[in-house]
Amino acid sequence: MQNILVFLLVFGIIVVVHEFGHFYFAKRAGILVREFSIGFGPKIFFHRKGETTYTIRLLPVGGYVRMAGYEEEADLRAGMPVTLMLNDKQVVEKIDIQNKHQSVDSLPLEVTSFDLEDELFISGRVDGVDEIETYTVSETALLIEKDGTMLQIAPRKRQFQSASLPNRMLTNFAGPLNNFILAIVAFMLLGFMQGGVPSSEPLIGEVQPDAPAAEAGLETGDRILSIEGNEISSWMDMVGVIEQSPDTALDFEVKKTNGTVTEMTITPQADENSDAGKVGIGQTMDDSLSSKIAYGFVQPWSIVMQIFTILGSFLTGGFSLDQLGGPVAIYATTQTVVRAGAIGVISWIGFLSVNLGIMNLLPIPALDGGKLLLNIIEGIRKKPISEEKEGLITLVGVGFLLVLMLAVTWNDIQTFFLN
């Protein structure tokens, strides 16, 4: 249960922060945000504030911001029975598609035609009378969907497509941007919680007892100058040489804490799981204020570079589904993260947030990156792509993502539960 709760918490934080980016910039651009949802599927709770309905839905993996202009007006159709609520001026304030509850001041109507974008009217037959009545609809009228969710109608001027191109691009980019900001905050917080951050210098921190490093005489505070005659300028340089040399004697040049330089031979042991060489040492911690703040930027950038390396393997032919992970892999890894406590959870939030930000910026239709690409094309052409073509492009993107997600999920199930 603890693993499930942490998984939902981590995923929920990342999704809410991502969607809030879209939400904030959409509102700032004057776009009507009809719904802010956490989760998918059937609604289990909703609260309306201002012109936005906030919902929690049954499936807690994901979420969305429902901006006007991305969908039709719910399920309103000609021939449908609805209930209208009018104000004192006989202007429609609510259109209830449920058509379940009728009060004294409500009006049953069989819809014949409507326009909730430009002319703002709804026409139909009242109580089966043949004569058709037409009613003006308020710009802020509410549409009550079949599941009871109340959404504000969207006049065309409040729709996404009516916003300026720069504002639409900012709205599309804001989700990934918020993920990067969350990662920066998470890793910066991590630096302070740990009391420092791992130093990039080739300095020896903790030395494990009975490990090759301890047997050779390495001590905390020693600096590695060279290995096999090759200069070592960073911790990663040293780790790279050691990991590539399991069961191989290596000549180290070491500067001791008292300033003397000595040579020693160390043979890395092969790790049981990865076969990489290990000598049993840890990094020193840099506890300066500047390093803790810088960690918020350095660590996300390091993750970005790792992701680009994986994406580059698409082009080089070295790609494997094992390099990707979906919700199943995230949940399985969360079990390990929970054992590391708060530090592990915060680090996991930062790592996943960077991944979500980068993956959403890929130029794939249906993703934020695909939408940005269409925005750029529109800017070059000086006119938007037709709704039909954009819909087809998005459909292809959704199909690709669905196939990829199914493949990744099945691979994750095999890796974590069937092997």
Other C-beta atoms lying within 10 Å of the C-beta of residue 236: 12
How far from each other are the two terminal CA atoms of the chain, in whole angstroms? Answer: 23
Whether residue 133 lies in the annotated active site: no
Other C-beta atoms lying within 10 Å of the C-beta of residue 69: 17
d(CA 419, CA 417): 6
166 class by beta-carbon count within 10 Å (0-12 exposed, 13-18 middle, 19+ buried): exposed
Sole residue written with tokens 């959403």: 360
d(CA 102, CA 144): 13
Q: Return the C-alpha torsion angle 239, 245, 250, 253, nearest 10.
A: -20
133 class by beta-carbon count within 10 Å (0-12 exposed, 13-18 middle, 19+ buried): middle
- H or E segment to which residue 139 belongs: strand 132-144
Which of 19, 35, 145, 253 is flagged as catalytic?
19
Q: Can you read off the two tokens belonging to residue 407?
A: 């493949």
Return the closest-CA partner of residue 329 out of 415, 419, 418: 415
Amino acid at 301: W
**Which residues make Cβ contacts (< 8 Å) with residue 320, sequence separation at least 6?**
313
Contact 58, 77 (CB under 8 A): no
Contact 143, 35 (CB under 8 A): no
d(CA 415, CA 333): 12
Return the closest-CA partner of residue 219 out of 227, 207, 201: 207
Strands 92-96 and 132-144: parallel
Q: Can you read off the two tokens belonging to residue 253?
A: 């040049």
Catalytic residue positions? Answer: 19
